[in-house]
Structure 1
Amino acid sequence: MNKILFCFIFLIGYNLWSKTPELEAFFVAAKNKDFETARSISTKMENAVLERHLNILTDLMATKSVSSDFVIGIEQADNESVSFIKYLIAGYQNNYAVKQNNLEAYKNFLNALKLAEKTKKNYFIKAALFGMLDLFAGEIFIGSKQYQPYLERLTELKEDNVDEVLLLFYRLIFLSKTEEDLSALDAQYYTYYEKLDSIFNGFSNNRFYTDFYYEKGIYYKLEEEYDKAEDFFIKSDSMAFHHNLLNDYKFKNAWQLSSVNFQNQNIKVAKRYLAMARRHSKKLRENFYNDRLASAIFQKEGNYDSAYHYLRKSVDIEYELGYKNNTLESSILTVQNQTDKLKLDKLELETSNAKIRNWTIFLGMLLVLGTVIGVLVNKNAIRKQLLAEQEKTLGQQKVSNILKEQELATIDAMIEGQEKERQRVANELHDDLGSLMAAVKLQFNSLEASDKQGNKETFAKTETLIDEAYGKIRAIAHAKNSGLIAKQGLLPAVKQMAEKVSVASGIGILVHDHGLDTRLENSMELTLFRIVQELMTNVIKHAEATEMNIHITNHGDTLNILAEDNGKGMPLDKTANYGNGIGLKSIDKRIHYLHGSMNIESEIGKGTVIILDIPI
């Protein structure tokens, strides 16, 4: 009894296995549009049910039209292959009917895809994906990317150039239907077109040239090269006739020829091709295209009554098809909601299996747990140590910041005090000592006039010394006065100070600016003014120079001040200590406060150059 049962099971398994190569060959032939070979393979099937349904499927895919009202019913007795083919037939019947039933077509193709994934047969999966993508490609307008998962799945299963060509056709179709305004096409459309064009340079399957020439016609139509577009639509029509694909392409090519002639202002030719398209129209969607184009043609002719009539007809068909409401996409969402319960059931089963796996893993995890805990404890100790070190570092940084802030506050107070003291000294020099020196000079002139017997040479030298002292006092007084800085800004104040000091001291002081078009922050301008003022004062007091040039250059993030004179210079060992008093040491203190740098170059008898760089 066991031997008989074993033989029975073996025969059933062998019978199913023996059909697998034939089924795969059938779907490969169908994918390559070799429907004659596909029909020949189906007639050799030993299973009469399988043979009959494969013949029905071949007719549907070859003609893309429904020739009978034969209703497909799924039966429990059907094996996986028969059930799969029945789902495909039902999907194509719903898709190619005069009035499509998109929802039922989607359901049937989805069931076919689920069954194909269950069998793990790639040629079944691809056949279901082709049906699903044909359904989406037939939509008038695609408002979202519901097709994307199926396109990606087909990309994963791509095996040869035919798969690549079909993928490119679908991508071009979907991209051209995502916008109602074809001029707004995604740039990817042209990338895919160029890739398709390169493949067909060496492509040997002539059955796909009908589609290829059609897509080239679409491309040139979008490029507004209507003569070239017309040539390729005619070529597509010719290839369709050669390969017995008239039912599918006669309408499409006639309609496109009418459209490109309309765009090319050949109204008479456009009407002739439109009449041809109407003769080959069988589906409601095709009537929509015809009526919409007829409305545009009559409007172009000025026949507005006819234009309105056909526009009204196309709008009625449009809403009947559910174009504006994206019926197919809404239907897909409905189906997805209906399958939520099945997904939950599957999730529960997966949860149960996960529990079993978890118990298996649990023992291994126990062995690892001790090690993990030890590592975590060690890491925690290290982390605490790092935190303590970081807190210590932060504390030191806080103390350093406080000290720095105190130092800055001290420097600010010092600078403010120096400004007040300078103003006071300048006023005293000008008002008190300047007046006193003027009085001394008047008195000396009086004395010189009354002493006619005196030494005139001695009087002349004394008068020269008094004039020189008086001039230096006036120059220093002017150099210490900063009244202009707040009103006019740094550059005008420096230039005016240079003019006054030049007149008073007899030293030719020139100021050159480069890129200093905008004002700086007030406190910085005042500090920079005092630095330049101190440079002038040093030259007046110590340099014994006749010329001084000051260059102020704005480099964007830094300000450069270069002061040079033709005085007596000074030894480099003294420049390192900047002397005593408030001269160069005061300038260095101010530069340090501004986070800048100071360099001094000097040579005895040839003058001194001081270069300052200050960030702004």
Structure 2
Amino acid sequence: MWNRFDDKSLMSLWLCKKLWILPASFFAGSIYAQNDAKLISIEKAIQNGYVESSIKDLNKIQPKTLKKADQAFYNYIFGQAYEQQNKSDYVYSYYLKAKELYKAVDSLDKVAAINLDLAFLIDSQKNNTGKAQHYADEFLAYAKSTKDSKKLARAYAQLGSMNAGLHDEKSLYYFTLAIKQNQIAKDTDIEIGLNNNIAVLHNEYLNQPDSGLYYLKKNLPLIVPQQKYFELCNNYINQASSYHHKKDYKKAIEYLLKADSVPNKQKVKILKSYIYEFLSLNYKLSGNIAKAYDYQQLEYIYSDSIQYDKQNIAIADIQTRYETKEKELENKLLKKENKIIDNKHKASQNLFYGAVALLFISIVIAYLITQNLKRKQKISDQYKEIEKQKLDKQLGEMESSAIDLMLEGQEKERQRIANDLHDNLGSLLAALKLNFDNLRTKNSMPIHDKLYDKTDNLIQEAYQKVRSLAHAKNAGVIANQGLVPAVENLAAKVTIPGKFTINIFPFGLDERIENTMEISIFRMIQELVTNIIKHAEATEANIHLTQHEDSLNIIIEDNGKGMDTRTILRKNGMGLKNIEKKVEHLDGTLTIEAYEGKGTSVVINIPL
């Protein structure tokens, strides 16, 4: 006995016989407020087993008087009613109408829910799994688009049921996916359905009735406290199936009798018919022929009752067609009367239409005048926009020229500072070291040697720093070699063995870049290297130069003390602002990643 994965509906299977069970409406909770109250009460009556009276009530309603959404709901619950009576062709027709109407009002969630109903309905017919797959796939695609775990669980569960008996491993795979999704959704009804259908798969196709019993007994704590009598009846029938496959006919009979005693109100005649048929079968196999005969007679009574109901339904269908024809005739008479009334008022209407025509012409003239004014205004706005673009272009060219002049001035200033550092402060430190060495030689005393050594080291360190800064400021892009040799030359000059090392990693720079851009990029790298020497207290730095198809990527990183990026950009230091300005001038981007005590990384991307 299979569970159907719309909101709360089931389908039974016993020894390859399938039985449709009335689906509960997928219009749950707050959605009820969107539908006609009369239709909602009829749907509840159908779910409680009052099918015939519900069909009569539906026939009394004029669907065209309803809103389009209510028309869709009307067709859907009509399908529910006929599903209770096993009239699958009618069910299919009404579900299709409901689907099209829901499409018209853009209610995609309900369209998807009906796709799942149609997949289940078609799959229950012989040799129709392929057609059912189309609707199941539509529902699955919608569920994936919404990323709704509940919908995904239902979709995978339906695919698991459809593949049972055809591709059992695939069936188990889909059930597993459904279980994972429902662990997120935490829907009790889906969990009950999954346990039930996995049990049927084990009973009917995998010949594993013990596994089937495990899943069915697992369901009882979920079903019994909530008094889900329809699910409980199905559970007992499926447990009877498990014991039947174990050839424990006594236990099978026990659970079928339990199913018979459940106060279920849905699909009573059909369920009773099957319960009695299966009781007859198990009594026969257990050797109790008398009981088998008794239940066979009961089964015949319910089967005959079902046939009688079908005859009544056929008569009701004829009556419905007759009432429909009467309504069509009434509509024709009403149209004729309306035509007579229209003729009487024709003169006054012609006058009215003349006035409307005059008003329409006035509106058209006013519209044309307005459009002409708008067109003139649009032309004026376009002219202003063109003038603004020209001004922006001129300002951009002026800014570009200013930046070029600034870069040229910076080049000259760097040269002057480097020369001053090397010629003046460098010479003074060299002279200081010679005088200090002479003084140390003349006044050498063991007690003062430690102090002399420390002072000598400080002088030597100061000299090396001045030398490195001078080289950093004075290094330039070698005109006949390009960016990479210039950076390598800079690295060689500022490297101090054992104290500070710069590693260069070029990639893809096989051809020269435009010379002005090379100089700008080099000066940015030079400024960043100077900052590392002055502030980072680093022992090693890496410079990565990578040329892609249409951009240049520069990464400069050190293992120094790092910095706080939240405050560094707020400082007024000219070096970093100059770099930002240069990068902006080259239409590039600048990113600084730094953490105190963990070094600094600067990433520059420049389009070529």
Q: TM-score, normalised by structure 2?
A: 0.40
Larger Rg: 1
